[in-house]
Amino acid sequence: MPAAIVLGTQWGDEGKGKAVDYLADGMDLVVRYQGGNNAGHTIIAEGRLLKLHLVPSGILYPHITSVIADGVVIDPAVLLAEMDELTQAGLDVSRLLISGNCHLIMPYHLALEKVTERFLGKNALGTTKRGIGPAYADRAARIGIRVQDVFDEKIFREKLDVALREKNAVLAKVYHRLPLDADKIVSEYMAMAERLWPHVADTSKLLHEALEEGRNVMLEGAQGTMLDLDHGTYPFVTSSTPVAGYALASSGIGPQRVERVIGITKAYVTRVGAGPFPTELADHDGDRIGERGQEFGTTTGRKRRCGWFDAVVLRYAARLNGLSEIFLTKLDVLSGFERVRMCVGYRADGQDWDDVPPHQSLFHRAEPVWEDLPGWSDEISDAHTFDDLPAPARAYVRRVEELAGVPVSVVSVGPAREQSLPVPA
Ligand code: GDP
């Protein structure tokens, strides 16, 4: 049963790119299972800095087949540009396979998201404006266009005409924008189809066969558990489903295949955009974490909100995803604090909570119950083993395990592959 799911346990940006890159070494296939080019993985591998938005991080290894599964939405122009960039960096992208069932991001998705976000004013969600939400909405409304549709121009044209009839009316009559031209879209997408064709495959069948042969498959999520469409802080969430269950639905494989569920967890918490965030720091400590951790979005460059570690959120993620282990990232960022804080519970409306409150208004009002731990002054990014870490840093990791009820298998102390320390049981 050699499938492993790797996902974020917070609000995204947990350092999944680095963790997946480290874990990918022992894998044969790496599968991206949701989201679109709103995710950004920054990876440093063999001294090279690479930013990936759509292509699974497995692409860095010559022995790995990288797969984009059904539940991902694809902007073909972005995907092709990313493939070109990787090729220029000397990587072989011929092993990238895309499901024909993936939905396409169309020019009207981008156009509409831009105007609707503006229309929402102070209620705007702060989306990345890449057309991802509108593409998922059309998928659910069954007027989406899929990768496989571009290989039949007649079908593509028919579906486009149906979609454009409504989209152009909305763009022109509601938002006073120019309507989009169908012929232009057809010629652009047909040109891109030619380049995509060699990469399109029946990925669910391929994964099934790989698993039957005992090959190792890693299913890689984007964003994080607290941004899940159902289980996150709706509506301040992403438009797809990062939790572990969806890895299977999207890839088209069964639950009995999964052996490990690895939760990527940052040693503190960050969040981009609006929505509840109980441990947020509006003080010098928050700025310091943001600066040391370089907390600016890979895709958007936006400054992230920063706060202390939240064990309630991690316990919630452990429960929702059935985590078997934790990969704890960016512990090095916490070096130099006299004391480090962990949120071990919430207080809201005079009541104590040891889990995420079931009502969002309570979550908005939740005040952290803090536990203070001694900090460590030494930089730890050159540690080679877990035992090299100062005692307070090791104690911090052990406390994370206790509070989550899940073992930490690896601690990351820097962005490079080798700055990953296996944790003894
Ligand atoms: P992702 O979307 O979850 O991969 O998150 P990001 O792209 O925001 O990645 C986090 C950033 O932190 C990247 O720039 C990584 O190179 C970097 N990073 C990952 N792990 C560590 C770590 O343990 N320590 C430090 N200092 N940086 C890290």
Q: Answer yes or no: 41 catalytic.
A: yes
Check if the beta carbon of residue 196 is closer than 8 Å to that of residue 76: yes
Residue 334: phi and psi, rounded to 5, are -85, 0
Within 128-204, strands assigned E span 200-201
Cα–ligand 1 centroid distance for 42 (angstroms) = 6
Q: Residue 21: what pLDDT?
A: 86
Instruction: Compute the distance between CA of residue 146 and CA of residue 138 in angstroms, rounded to an integer.
Output: 11
| Prediction pTM value | 0.94
Rounded CA Rg of the chain: 22
Cα–ligand 1 centroid distance for 330 (angstroms) = 7
Q: Residue 273: what pLDDT?
A: 81
The pLDDT tens digits of the residues spanning 232-271 come to 999 889 999 999 999 999 999 999 999 999 999 999 999 9
Query: Could you give the C-alpha distances from 12 to 15, 29, 172, 312, 386, in angstroms and in order?
Result: 8, 23, 35, 16, 25
Q: Is 324 helix (H, G, I), strand (E, B) or coil?
A: coil
- Which residues of the chain carry a pLDDT beneath 70? 1, 43-47, 119, 122-126, 298-300
Q: Residue 85: what pLDDT?
A: 87
Task: Report CA torsion sign: 410, 413, 415, 421.
Answer: negative
Q: Residue 392: what pLDDT?
A: 98
Q: Which of 30, 41, 42, 306 to mutate to test the pocket of ligand 1 (most atoms within 8 A of CB)?
A: 42
Cα–ligand 1 centroid distance for 6 (angstroms) = 15
The pLDDT tens digits of the residues spanning 12-66 come to 999 988 898 899 888 999 999 999 988 777 766 666 777 888 999 888 889 999 9
Q: Residue 52: what pLDDT?
A: 84
Ligand 1 binding site (Cβ under 6 Å of any ligand atom):
8, 13-18, 39-42, 44, 294, 298, 329-330, 332-333, 412-415
The CA-CA-CA angle for residues 287, 293, 299, to 5°, reads 105
Q: Residue 1: what pLDDT?
A: 53
Q: Is 290 helix (H, G, I), strand (E, B) or coil?
A: helix
